[in-house]
Amino acid sequence: MARFIFITGGVVSSLGKGLASASLGALLQARGYSVRLRKLDPYLNVDPGTMSPFEHGEVFVTDDGAETDLDLGHYERFTGVAARSTDSVSSGRIYSTVLEKERRGDYLGKTIQVIPHVTNEIKDFIKIGEDEVDFMLCEIGGTVGDIEALPFFEAIRQFSQDRRGECIFMHLTLVPYIAAAGELKTKPTQHSVKELRSIGIAPDILMCRAERPIPEKEREKLALFCNVRPDAVIPALDLNSIYEAPLAYHREGMDRAVLEAFNIKDAPAPDLTKWHDVMAAITQPEGEVKIAIVGKYTQLGDAYKSIAEALTHGGIHNRVKVKAEWIDSEIFETDEDVTPYLEGFNAILVPGGFGERGTEGMINAANYARTHDVPYFGICLGMQMAVTEAARNLAGIKDAGSEEFDHEAGGKRFTPIVYHLKEWVEGNRTIQRATGDDKGGTMRLGAYNAVLAEGSRIAEIYGTTAISERHRHRYEVDMSYRAPLEEKGLIFAGISPDGRLPETVEIRDHPWYIGVQFHPELKSKPFEPHPLFADFIRAALDQSRLV
């Protein structure tokens, strides 16, 4: 039977609850326990699939095709446990399930209420797969006091009553430094805990984010006023790298406090070797590479969270620091000459995106990389635009483009070499989606297999010809352009097992030019960098030695 750890937040949002949860998961694993992490989000969207990247950051896709919160990416990166669709839920999904049941008559004529119907649905979600792991960590999105979050707090309160002794609560707050007083202030934390206790939840552990060390006196004060043991007040100071968090929180006693709260006395000592190795590579790099990321949502770092992390992992693998610079592809549309923006970078990455805005700039960036022998990595839309560039400038299809942009404009402006795939063979999925088929409309979501050509650059990088990667896209490169493009040197090296859908392209007569239709960044981990990112950074390093 699993033990449950509920992680809540107070005072302000964006304190890094996801990272704290992920780090705790990693520490429990380091002590030999199995873990699963879950996110319960109070917003009313059914899932983040339809939210703008500017609103919500990256949409993290699971193998089984769910579009989830980006915190699930942290969970996977820190624990290596592949997230499932049943690890993420929102108020919207809970309510829509309850309403579906009501319409079906499942409640036998009862009046449907938040308590018990909505709270029961939440409790059922928390329990899914409980006998598979030692610890289930459930993070509640938002902050205590949010109106939408109330049913979640009520549900976890009830849950801890149903399962006495099997649940603990960890509350993450902020202890701000007030310069005028020269002091760290505990009052916001006291208020936040008071709020939590007023809805029946007494935290067992307090994680306190602070920009400077919390003196013993303040720590004791927090313990006294918030009714927790002093050694369960864990300072969480700002860190230079997120991958320092497991080590830093361990030093501050986070995992020990959790074990004590459960009264576990015989826990094995943690083996933190892999985290020490990761941090050694981050803190003692032997070089540096500069990567330009030419994308659409560059104003918001979180929109390409997994890409930024995967690049860091590639740097860890090569023991170099990766300096990633985000460039809005739109600027290349007004300014045709991209050289001033792109010279000086050791490699160029064009990530995914939706809609036409900025895509001509991506095509210009792909052209620059191809013609200047600069390593190029195109991901999803970045592959589609690389193929479009090759079609226009190598195969002579001057008006090559994607049907996606024609759709937007309602006219036929392009020869669609990237087209809307209206239906696809479900047979080549590795894993069936656990939730409804209507998710994401007509998008191809989740893990699909691809076959890589023997002897191709990409097969060499993966070290295999059979791969499975996660997808999130609606449009596909048209196979009928394969022959003319291959004749000009753009090779369709990876194809879906049924032979219908191009999965990867590459140019062999180039230091590193690869496009992939899937999202390799979603599966990269600091201690297990994705081979494509590891090799992309190696190529960037080679390039840096040329200049």
- Asked about 360 being catalytic, the answer comes back as no
- Asked about 380 being catalytic, the answer comes back as yes
Closer CB to ligand GLN, residue 234 or residue 381? 381
Interatomic CA distance for residues 55 and 45, integer angstroms: 12
- Asked about 473 being catalytic, the answer comes back as no
Nearest CA among 429, 443, 445, 543 for reference residue 497: 429
Closer CB to ligand GLN, residue 472 or residue 538? 472
| Min dist. Cβ of residue 256 to ligand GLN (A) | 42
| Min dist. Cβ of residue 527 to ligand GLN (A) | 26
Closer CB to ligand GLN, residue 160 or residue 298? 298
Tokens of 460: 């060499």
Residue from 380, 389, 404, 469 carrying the catalytic annotation: 380
Nearest CA among 523, 480, 482 for reference residue 504: 482
CB 122 within 8 A of CB 152: yes
Burial class (CB in 10 A: 0-12, 13-18, 19+), 51: middle
| Min dist. Cβ of residue 43 to ligand GLN (A) | 22
For ligand GLN, the nearest residue by Cβ is 352
CA 16, 18, 20, 23 dihedral sign is: negative
CB 77 within 8 A of CB 524: yes
| Min dist. Cβ of residue 500 to ligand GLN (A) | 15
Closer CB to ligand GLN, residue 429 or residue 472? 472
Query: C-alpha 139: how far from its chain's center?
Result: 15
Burial class (CB in 10 A: 0-12, 13-18, 19+), 94: buried
| Min dist. Cβ of residue 295 to ligand GLN (A) | 10
Residue from 56, 117, 519, 530 carrying the catalytic annotation: 519
Q: What SS3 state is found at 76?
A: helix
Nearest CA among 233, 229, 235 for reference residue 263: 229
| Min dist. Cβ of residue 536 to ligand GLN (A) | 17
Q: Which residues, in sequence order, are CB contacts of 47 under 8 Å at separation 6+?
A: 66, 67, 68, 88, 90, 92, 93, 439
Contact residues toward ligand GLN (CB under 6 A) are 352-354, 380-381, 404, 472-475
Query: C-alpha 248: how far from its chain's center?
Result: 22
Instruction: Give the position of tokens 């790298």.
Output: 241
Closer CB to ligand GLN, residue 219 or residue 473? 473
Closer CB to ligand GLN, residue 142 or residue 352? 352
- The residues annotated as belonging to the active site are 380, 519, 521
